[in-house]
Amino acid sequence: MEKRPCRIAILGAGGLGKAAARFISLKREMRLVAICDQGGYAYSEKGLDGQEIYQIKPQGSVADLFSGGVHCPDSIGEIIALGKSIDGIFVALPNLPNDFIAKIIERFIDAGYSGVFTDALKRTRAMEQMFQLDRGLKEVRSTYITGAGATPGLLTAAAVLAAQSFQQVEEVKIWWGVGVSSWQDYKATIREDIAHLPGYTVETAKALTDQEVEALLDAREGRLEFQEMEHADDLLLERVGVVDSRNKVIVGGIMDTRSSKKPVTTTMTLTGITLSGQKSTHRFVLGDETTMADNVVGPALGYLKRAWWLRDKAIYGVYGSTEFMPMIVR
């Protein structure tokens, strides 16, 4: 990755995909060569303009971009066809339904695509499907790091570090605050979040019209509070042995859809028992001025570079964002 820029494609051009385009445009080690959404895709061997992509309105499509935009019915298929020109992929697609991302990655595997991937996947059941792809990805010599955003991702990795000081972990609590000035910028993310509210399911949340989402937000003055969300932090921490049961990982938070100011400070709190039997707590606290994009896209690209490092060493397959820390010794 040091010699020539890593050629990156972004799948999805919602709030996260667009933010990633902007981030990549500032990195000399990465070049954004492709991006797609439901309406089409854009490709340029020399690199797409991340700032231009960032400015596309929520209802717009990357197919309309000045340079390289193409309307088509199957934009994922077009990206797969460009596979030999793409080194790494950031998956910024919706988690809904739970098998949505896994089925798309299967298409890459079936086409024999060999490269690296990260995603910012959140739901536990969606991530379970990703780990099913391990054998297929190994066969095509691809390396995939899942749950590489903020939570799971940055905060979950911090929990693995925090766990090092303890003989036993009693609880990992992640409490996040997100503020966005307009929910329209994060339509898919917010529908995914609504699915966590009492009375909603993945299916009913996905089926909500924009007007219905707005009515729901109006009734709550733009704020959504989530308790005990189904978040794959639990799976990732159980997988590496930080907790012996997923129930010990608790994720919740507050999203304000009408102000970019965070309603609460995002904090990972790990409580454990030390060798001498003391109960204590380590914390990882994110600065309020950092945005969701900073805390999701930054780590996702950092893990993408790590995935490239792993692939270079012939380490293929699916890994969680918690799997390259110091390990838990049992």
**Catalytic site positions:** 122, 192, 196
What is the number of alpha carbons within 13 Å of residue 32 lying toward its C-beta?
A: 28
Paired strand residues for 91: 11, 119
| CA 308/CA 226 separation, integer angstroms | 35
Q: Which two tokens stand for residue 28?
A: 């000399």
Query: CB of residue 88 vs its own copies: minimum separation in angstroms?
Result: 11
Stretch that binds its own copies, among 121-129, 131-139, 154-162, 225-233 (CB under 8 A): 154-162
Query: CB of residue 25 vs its own copies: minimum separation in angstroms?
Result: 10
Query: CB of residue 155 vs its own copies: minimum separation in angstroms?
Result: 9
C-beta separation of 136 from 109 below 8 A: yes
What are the backbone angles phi and psi of residue 21, rounded to the nearest 5°? -60, -45
Query: CB of residue 203 vs its own copies: minimum separation in angstroms?
Result: 33
Q: Which is nearer to its own copies, 26 or 219 (CB)?
A: 26
The strand order across the sheet containing 69-71 reads 69-71, 40-43, 30-37, 6-11, 88-91, 116-119, 143-146, 317-320
Paired strand residues for 6: 30
Which x/- pattern, by CB under 8 A, does the window 121-150 give for its own copies? ---------------------------x--
| CA 150/CA 212 separation, integer angstroms | 28
Stretch that binds its own copies, among 78-86, 97-105, 184-192, 276-284 (CB under 8 A): 276-284
Q: Judged by CB under 8 A, does residue 3 bind its own copies? A: no
- Residues in the chain, overall count: 330
Position among 27, 125, 141, 258 found at the interface with its own copies (CB under 8 A): 27
Q: Judged by CB under 8 A, does residue 218 bind its own copies? A: no
C-beta separation of 183 from 213 below 8 A: yes
Site residues, its own copies (CB under 8 A): 22-23, 26-30, 148, 154, 157-158, 161-162, 164-167, 274-276, 278-291, 293-295, 298-299, 301-306, 309, 313-315, 321, 324-330
